[in-house]
């Protein structure tokens, strides 16, 4: 259980509406999330309905499953724990692709790395693009697709017209081969939810609560899903993250989305200020390194910790 003296841990555990938990390293975010998850299953959600939990990667999903098992959770099929790609594919794209008219063949498959590379090469040839003009076409195209979700917007066409054309031609090559790629999964899911609001209601009927871990790294597609599912369809949100720990900006992560979510009037924001992992000097040094006030402090009785300074020549 959580310590009732905890600096916000108990407030997060007791929350009843939409709740965003913000905290630095060692603040107990994952423990709070799993304990709250178990309580929601035990007290708030009645069978056969369940809870969906979206995490950043498969390793995070396995850790949550292990922690829930340690708490005695036996929810079985009532629980979804997985990545945003897995949620998009298994809960939205596969069940609803045909009725949502997503333009996918009935037997579509997820492209292998080789098939993705071949489709991109064909797209570049079709457009007669100078391949050497950019260092990494695949990464840049991927970030462009993840960052601008509305293909009908002026931004999609004008921010980088060449990348927009390559992305559209690449996707056309994939569809001709009966394939989708990993970026397609959340993009198609967002499209289905936007164009068919009844899918949002169907997901709410199955999962009245949505739990999100490492929100700062999950990008615009997940954020758009959260806005639709939780603030339109009625799902209750419990999200955990830390804007200072976002290291995936180069792949399209936007930690500012977590900040904007926490600032909503209909969301309770809980800040975890205690660091249970580090000594007082280390916690203080982290504040200097961030260059921003976070009011983090070490837990009572923590050691001072030792910091080593290594001067380096040059820049």
Does this model's pTM top 0.85? My answer is: yes
Q: Across residues 88-95, what is the average pLDDT?
A: 97
Per-residue pLDDT at 4 exceeds 50: no
> Which distant-in-sequence residues (6+ apart) come within 8 Å of 114 by Cβ?
none
pLDDT at 155 over 90: yes
**pLDDT tens digit string along 109-118?**
999 999 999 9
CB within 8 Å of 3: residues ≥ 6 apart = 9, 10
Count of CB atoms situated within 10 Å of the CB of 28: 23
Q: What percent of the chain has pLDDT over 70?
A: 97
Confidence band of 2 (pLDDT split at 50, 70, 90): low
Strand partners, 239: 20, 212
The mean pLDDT of 279-306, rounded to a whole number, is 85
What is 26-88 written as a DSSP string?
TS-HHHHHHHHHHHIIIII--TT--EEEEESSHHHHHHHHHHHHHTT---GGGEEEEEHHHHI
Residue ranges covered by each domain of the chain = 9-94+196-272, 112-176
The pLDDT mean for the chain works out to 91
Query: Could you read off the pLDDT of 30-66 as tens digits, one per residue?
Result: 899 999 999 999 999 999 999 999 998 899 889 888 8
What's the pLDDT score for residue 25?
Answer: 86
- Tell whether the model's pLDDT for residue 290 goes beyond 90: no
80 or 284: which leads in pLDDT = 80
Name the residue with higher pLDDT: 252 or 187: 187
Q: Using an 8 Å Cβ cutoff, are 46 and 73 in contact?
A: no
Give mean pLDDT, residues 288-312. 85
pLDDT beyond 50 at 5: no
What 3-state class would DSSP assign to 237?
Answer: strand
**In this structure, are residues 117 and 140 in contact, taking their beta carbons and an 8 Å threshold?**
no
* Predicted pLDDT of residue 120: 97
| Distance (Å, whole) CA 242 – CA 214 | 7
- Tokens representing 14 are 């007791």
Which has more pLDDT, 270 or 69? Answer: 270
Q: Which residues contact 113 (CB under 8 A, 6 or more apart)?
A: none
pLDDT of the residue at 8: 82
- 160 or 28, greater pLDDT: 160
Task: Name the CATH superfamily for 9-94+196-272.
Answer: P-loop containing nucleotide triphosphate hydrolases (3.40.50.300)
Q: Average pLDDT for residues 164-171, to the nearest whole number? A: 97
Q: What is the three-class DSSP state of 173?
A: helix
């Amino acid at each position: 259980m959580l310590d009732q003296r905890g600096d916000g841990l108990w407030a997060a555990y007791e929350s009843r509406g939409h709740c965003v938990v913000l905290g630095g390293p060692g603040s107990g975010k994952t423990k709070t999330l799993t304990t709250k998850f178990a309580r929601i299953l035990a007290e708030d959600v009645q069978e056969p309905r369940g809870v969906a939990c979206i995490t950043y990667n498969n390793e995070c999903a396995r850790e949550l499953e292990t922690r829930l098992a340690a708490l005695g959770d036996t929810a079985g099929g009532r629980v979804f724990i997985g990545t945003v790609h897995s949620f998009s594919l298994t809960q939205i794209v596969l069940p609803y692709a045909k009725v949502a008219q997503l333009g996918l063949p009935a037997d579509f498959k997820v492209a292998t790395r080789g098939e993705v590379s071949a489709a991109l090469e064909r797209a570049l040839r079709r457009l007669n693009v100078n391949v050497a003009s950019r260092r990494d076409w695949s990464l840049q195209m991927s970030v462009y697709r993840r960052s601008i979700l509305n293909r009908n917007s002026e931004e999609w066409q004008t921010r980088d017209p060449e990348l927009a054309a390559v992305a559209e031609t690449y996707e056309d090559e994939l569809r001709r081969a009966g394939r989708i790629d990993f970026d397609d999964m959340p993009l198609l899911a967002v499209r289905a939810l936007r164009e068919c609001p009844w899918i949002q209601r169907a997901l709410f009927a199955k999962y009245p609560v949505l739990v999100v871990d490492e929100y700062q790294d999950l990008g615009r597609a997940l954020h758009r899903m959260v806005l639709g599912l939780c603030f339109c369809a009625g799902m209750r949100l419990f999200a955990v993250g830390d804007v200072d720990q976002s290291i995936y900006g180069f792949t399209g992560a936007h930690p500012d989305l977590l900040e904007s979510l926490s600032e909503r009037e209909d969301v309770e924001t809980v800040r975890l200020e205690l660091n249970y992992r580090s000594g007082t000097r280390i916690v203080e040094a982290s504040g200097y390194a961030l260059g921003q006030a976070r009011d983090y402090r070490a837990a009572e009785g923590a050691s001072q910790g030792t910091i080593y300074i290594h001067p380096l020549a040059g820049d």
